[in-house]
Amino acid sequence: MGLFDFASIRRSVAGLEQKLKGMQTEVEELRRQRVRVMTAPTSKEDVKEMLSAWLASNSKKYREALHETLSKFRNPRNLTQDDMARYMSITGAAQPGGESLRTQDVDQALCALFAPLLKDALFKEIEGMEWSENTINNAQRVKDAERLDERIHQLDTEIAALISDAEDSGINWRR
């Protein structure tokens, strides 16, 4: 029998390899979970919330454009029917020189003038659609991704520390 218990050393290295392999497997699984979280279908509620924000944003843009167009008529010299015909547009955007109407101008006008009706009609369409049962709302998606990222980072740090400690101890670690 020699001075060193090589079997014990071999068991220690094998234990370290097994621990590292388990940690790396857990990291891989956590990364797969994160991909599933980030690619899971959005909930109906989140789509409705985004749609509401879109309606509000377009409505605001319309009102700003309309106020800019209407402000031209504050000057008494611009109070003619010809001026009104030349500069006024129900879309809120002035269309001098026969410029063509942009789709976004129409969207903005419709959102501002009919937002409650559009919201009801669009929400009804959303409710009537088939929707995955595996949805995640955006708040939960962010929370889950942050939790997974934190655990992945923690494990990556622990793995790096174990490998560094092993190498500092003279174990030639294979990566």
Nearest C-alpha neighbor of 90 from the set 109, 108, 107, 74: 109
- Judged against a pLDDT cut of 90, whether residue 135 lies above it is answered with yes
Alpha-carbon distance 43 to 143, whole Å? 15
Q: Which pLDDT score is estimated for 151?
A: 98
User: Lowest-confidence range among 46-50, 78-82, 156-160, 164-168?
Assistant: 78-82
Alpha-carbon distance 115 to 139, whole Å? 26
Rg (CA), the chain: 32
Residue-wise over 25-59: b if at least 16 C-beta within 10 A, else e?
eebeebeebbeebeebebbbebbeeebeeebeebb
13 with 171: CB under 8 angstroms? Answer: yes
pLDDT confidence band for 97 (50 / 70 / 90): low
Q: Which pLDDT score is estimated for 36?
A: 95
Burial class (CB in 10 A: 0-12, 13-18, 19+), 86: middle
Please compute the mean of the pLDDT values over residues 63-74 and round it to a whole number.
Answer: 83
Could you report the per-residue pLDDT of 15-41, keeping only the tens digit for each?
888 999 999 999 999 999 999 999 999
Place of tokens 């509620």: 45
Between 158 and 100, name the one with better pLDDT. 158
Could you report the per-residue pLDDT of 107-126, keeping only the tens digit for each?
898 999 999 999 999 999 99
Alpha-carbon distance 110 to 102, whole Å? 13
Q: Which pLDDT score is estimated for 78?
A: 66
**CA-to-CA separations, 157 to 24, 84, 145, 166, in angstroms, rounded:** 11, 69, 18, 14
Question: Which residues are CB-contacts of 87 (< 8 A; sequence separation ≥ 6)?
Answer: 69, 72, 73, 78, 94, 96
Please compute the mean of the pLDDT values over residues 118-140 and round it to a whole number.
Answer: 94
For 77, other C-beta atoms within 10 Å of its C-beta total 7
Nearest C-alpha neighbor of 92 from the set 74, 77, 70, 114: 70
Instruction: Give me the residues paired with residue 162 across strands.
Output: none
pTM assigned to the model: 0.68
